[in-house]
Amino acid sequence: MKHTFILFGRQMRHFLRSPDTIITATVIPVGMMLLFVYVFGGAMKTSIGAGVSYVNYQLPGILLMAISSGISYTAVRLFTDIQKGMFARLRSMSIAKAAILWSNVLTTLVSGAISVIVIVLVALVMGFRSSAGLLAWLAAAGLLLLFTLALSWLAIIPGLTAKSVEGSYTFSYPLMFLPFLSSAFVPTATMPAALRMFAEHQPVTSIVEAVRGLLNGQPAEREIWIALAWCVGLAVTAYALARRIYKRFS
C-alpha cells in the first residue's frame, strides 16, 4: 500500500507536468462542450424535448469523453516506463508487484476525477443546473469512478503489450468516439435503424442515461443497473487480463 502511494505521487507529478495530458483530458472536452452547447445547442433543443436544458443534456457524454481520452495516458505512461527501463528497475526492487499497476490505476482515477470536476465547474458557469440531491450526486460520481476504473485496467493491457507509443494509445480512439454513437449528444430516435440498434445497446448509452437521470432527478433505475453491469463486467475482465499479461513478464 505504501509503495502504491509513493508511486502514485510520482505519476501525479507526471500528470501535472505534462501540459498535453491536461489539454487532452480537460481542455479539449471543455472545447467540445462549448461547441456543442453554443453552436449546436440551439438546433438540438427542438429534438431533445422540453424539461432538460442542452447543457444538462450533453454533460454526461462530455464527461465520458474526457475519461476515455484521459486513459490513453495511462497506457502511454506504462509503456514509457517499460521502454525507459523504469519498469524493470521497479520490478527488481523489493516492492509489492501489484503496487506498480495499482499506482497507475490510482493515478488514472484521481486525474480523471480532476478532469471531471473542472468540466462540471465550467458547465456550471455555462448554466448547468442540477436538481439532484447529495445521494444522486454520489451515485453519479460512483458510476463515473467505476467507469474510469474499468477503463484504467483496460488501458494497462496495451500499456504492457504495445510495441510503440502509438500502439499504446490508439485503443482509446474508438472509446472516445463511442459517445457520438450513443444518446450522449442527440436522442437515438432519429438514427437509422441499424445504428440505432447499436447506439441503444452499447455501454456508453446506458452510462450516459444513468448519469443524466441521476443529475436531472429523472427516474433511471433500469439504466443504472445496466450501466453498473457493463462497468463491473468490463472492470473484472480487463483486470483479469491485465494481471495475466503482467504475470507473463517474469
Partner 1 sequence: MPDFAIQTENLRKSFKENEVLKGVDLAVLRGEIFALLGSNGAGKTTTVNILSTLLKPNGGTASVCGFDVVRQAGRVRGSISLTGQFSAVDGMLTGRENIVLIAKLRGVPHPKKTAERSLERFGLTQAADCRADTYSGGMARRLDIAMSLVGDPAVIFLDEPTTGLDPEARLAVWETIKELAGGGVTILLTTQYLEEAEQLADRIAILHGGKIIANGTLEELKKLFPPAKIEYIEKQPTLEEVFLAIIGGEGQRQ
Q: Which residues bind partner 1 (CB under 8 A)?
A: 3, 6-7, 10, 13-14, 17-18, 84-86, 88-95, 249-250
Q: Which is nearer to partner 1, 11 or 183 (CB)?
A: 11
Q: How far is CA 159 from CA 34, 105, 210, 218, in A?
A: 32, 12, 30, 39
Distance between CA 157 and CA 155 in Å, rounded? Answer: 5
Residue 5 Cβ, how far from partner 1 at the closest point, in Å? 10
Residue 35, Cβ density class (10 Å: 0-12 exposed, 13-18 middle, ≥19 buried): exposed
Are the C-beta atoms of 126 and 33 separated by less than 8 Å?
Answer: yes
Q: Which is nearer to partner 1, 49 or 85 (CB)?
A: 85
Shortest gap between Cβ of 100 and partner 1 (angstroms)?
Answer: 11
CB of 94 to partner 1, least distance (A): 4
Q: Select 3 or 212, whichever has its Cβ closest to partner 1.
A: 3
Closest distance of CB 151 from partner 1, Å: 23
One-letter identity of residue 97: K
User: Based on CB atoms, which residue is closest to partner 1, 162 or 207?
Assistant: 162
CA neighbor of 242 nearest in space, from 71, 83, 127: 71
Q: How far is the CB of 99 from partner 1 (least distance, A)?
A: 9
Q: Assess contact for 67 and 140: CB atoms under 8 A.
A: no
Q: How far apart are CA 49 and CA 216, in angstroms?
A: 14
